Amino acid sequence: MFEEGVLSVITLVEFLRGVPEEKRERVKSLLEESYRILGFDNKTILVYCRLYSELRGEENLYLRLTCC
């Protein structure tokens, strides 16, 4: 049995940024044909940004504590 794959729009964008520009449109089309692309609503965007900021702060704290 086949299950449809799913990618977030962020995963799609991050993948495509590594593809040469002349191939990007074709690769994007192939991915969109192969996977369902999930977008984000406003609540999800705000939660993502909050979590990113918190984790970024923890990374900076770790670097300050372990450096030198």
Interval 15-34: pLDDT, tens: 999 999 999 999 999 999 99
Look at the pTM and tell me if it is higher than 0.75. no
3-state secondary structure 1-50: CCCCEEEEHHHHHHHHCCCCHHHHHHHHHHHHHHEEEECCCHHHHHHHHH
Beta 35-38 vs 5-8: how paired, if at all?
A: parallel
- Separation CA 53–CA 36 (nearest Å): 28
How many domains is the chain built from? 1
**Helices 9-16 & 21-34 angle (0-180, nearest 10):** 150
pLDDT per residue, tens digit, the chain (68 aa), is: 778 899 999 899 999 999 999 999 999 999 999 999 999 899 988 998 898 888 888 777 666 667 76
What range defines the domain where residue 59 resides?
5-66
